[in-house]
């Protein structure tokens, strides 16, 4: 049985692990990082972890302990958030561990983060793998026992993957994509191209329906029925079922994929398209998405909105404001790299810092405690 600690264990994607990992399961979680933050389902997950037998601790030194862990699971933020966490955990694990420990990193980060982290950790005799998750909070809640549970996109050291497989199968549905450290991250961003293109398609459909058939408004049984029927055809997307359908049916625009996370993921997806030599039509789809999320973040500071809230800015009454923001911020420039940089610059400060493009080993070394 693996002995673990969790960073990010009170979040929507990692919190459900407390109930998936029974006392007789493949892993026991000894400690969970708890900074005392309020809101969301944190109190529920605190209770679940305590029922599992885990202690809630406020600092990373307390989390790592004195060498009694096989590894630490991290499900936290983006490049700029997690570089310091991985750096400190690696340093502390290396100092106290009797046998070679591991870091299982479940956050969505860029491929160069995963590659640099692997190099940094390996030099300090700590194994590192990045296995991004996809399927949203519902997929995390359903876990590996349900066919609709979240997917776990694994890559890196194959022996470590086999060691972790019983754990992963409790949490979701893992698939291994090879030994390249960044292959899981690449696969997550490939999925984001599918997600965000689907979101734009169904949001566009809703905006046209609003203008032609619904007095310029979003919502109502008629619109829900219309789009639900059409989504059963060749243009169907799960973004109707898991996202926009909730907004149309119940005026719910805050439940789902948070734009605070999605905007950075869209930027990473755009950078991947550039690196892969894709045409501008593929790159621009991601930068347009990222700019639309940036617009929401700037227009509604302090509000928690999900990605499908962009549909509200696409109807006739709101589209001019979105167009103006994107034009003024440089969304339609001639150079793709310049457009990506402009998008990052358009973000609120805290989110801009979390993006941290072009990660290297130096970033981890500069964060050593």
CA 240 to chain centre: 19
198 Cβ neighbours under 8 A, 6+ residues apart:
237, 238, 239
Tokens 């933050």, located at residue: 37
Residue 181: predicted pLDDT: 98
Residue 23: predicted pLDDT: 76
- Confidence bin at 233 (pLDDT 50/70/90): very high
Residue 93: predicted pLDDT: 97
Residue 53: predicted pLDDT: 94
Pairing of strands 71-74, 102-105: parallel
Q: How far is CA 42 from CA 16, 48, 57, 232, 313, in A?
A: 11, 10, 14, 36, 31
Arithmetic mean of pLDDT, 330-352: 97
SS3 content of the chain, % helix, strand, coil (to 5): 55, 10, 35
Residue 328: predicted pLDDT: 98
Arithmetic mean of pLDDT, 208-237: 98
Element (H, E) at 72: strand 71-74
- Confidence bin at 46 (pLDDT 50/70/90): very high
Residue-wise pLDDT tens digits, 48-77: 999 999 999 999 999 999 989 999 999 999
Residue 337: predicted pLDDT: 98
- Confidence bin at 149 (pLDDT 50/70/90): very high
Residue-wise pLDDT tens digits, 249-282: 999 999 889 999 999 999 999 999 999 999 999 9
Taking alpha carbons only, the member of 76, 174, 37, 78 closest to residue 89 is 76
Residue 98: predicted pLDDT: 80
- Confidence bin at 158 (pLDDT 50/70/90): very high
Tokens of 251: 């005026």
Residue-wise pLDDT tens digits, 11-41: 999 999 999 998 788 999 999 999 988 877 8
- Confidence bin at 176 (pLDDT 50/70/90): very high
Helix (H, G, I), strand (E, B) or coil at 352: helix
Residue 362: predicted pLDDT: 97
- Confidence bin at 97 (pLDDT 50/70/90): confident
Q: Spell out the domains of the chain, with CATH numbers in brackets.
A: 2-180+361-365 (3.40.50.720), 186-355 (1.10.1040.10)
């Amino acid at each position: 049985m693996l002995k673990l600690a969790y960073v990010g264990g009170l979040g929507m994607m990692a919190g459900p692990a407390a109930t998936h990992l029974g006392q007789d399961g493949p892993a026991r979680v000894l400690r969970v990082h708890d900074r005392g933050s309020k809101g969301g389902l944190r109190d529920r997950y605190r209770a679940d972890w305590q029922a599992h037998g885990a202690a809630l601790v406020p600092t990373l030194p307390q989390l790592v302990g004195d060498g009694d862990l096989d590894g630490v699971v991290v499900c936290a933020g983006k490049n700029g958030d997690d570089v310091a966490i991985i750096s400190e955990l690696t340093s502390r694990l290396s100092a106290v561990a009797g046998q070679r420990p591991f870091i299982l990193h479940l956050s969505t980060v860029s491929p160069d983060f995963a590659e640099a982290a692997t190099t940094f950790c390996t030099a300090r005799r700590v194994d590192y793998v990045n296995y991004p998750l996809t399927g949203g909070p519902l997929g995390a809640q359903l876990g590996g026992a349900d066919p609709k549970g979240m997917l776990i996109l694994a890559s890196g050291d194959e022996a470590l993957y086999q060691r972790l497989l019983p754990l992963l199968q409790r949490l979701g549905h893992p698939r291994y994509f090879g030994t390249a450290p960044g292959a899981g991250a690449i696969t997550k961003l490939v999925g984001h191209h599918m997600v965000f293109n689907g979101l734009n398609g169904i949001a566009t459909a809703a905006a046209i329906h609003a203008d032609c058939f619904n007095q310029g408004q979003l919502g109502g049984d008629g619109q829900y029925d219309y789009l639900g029927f059409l989504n059963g055809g060749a243009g169907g997307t799960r973004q109707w079922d898991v996202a926009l359908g909730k907004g149309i049916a119940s005026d719910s625009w805050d439940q789902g994929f948070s734009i605070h996370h999605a905007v950075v993921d869209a930027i990473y997806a755009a950078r991947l398209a550039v690196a892969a030599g894709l045409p501008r039509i593929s790159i621009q789809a991601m930068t347009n998405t990222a700019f639309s999320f940036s617009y929401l973040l700037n227009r509604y500071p302090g509000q928690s909105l999900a990605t499908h809230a962009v549909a509200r800015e696409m109807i006739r009454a709101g589209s001019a404001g979105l167009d103006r923001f994107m034009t003024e911020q440089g969304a339609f420039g001639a150079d793709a790299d310049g457009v990506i940089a402009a998008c990052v610059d358009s973000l609120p400060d805290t989110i801009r810092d979390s993006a941290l493009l072009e990660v290297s080993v130096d970033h981890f070394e500069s964060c050593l405690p």
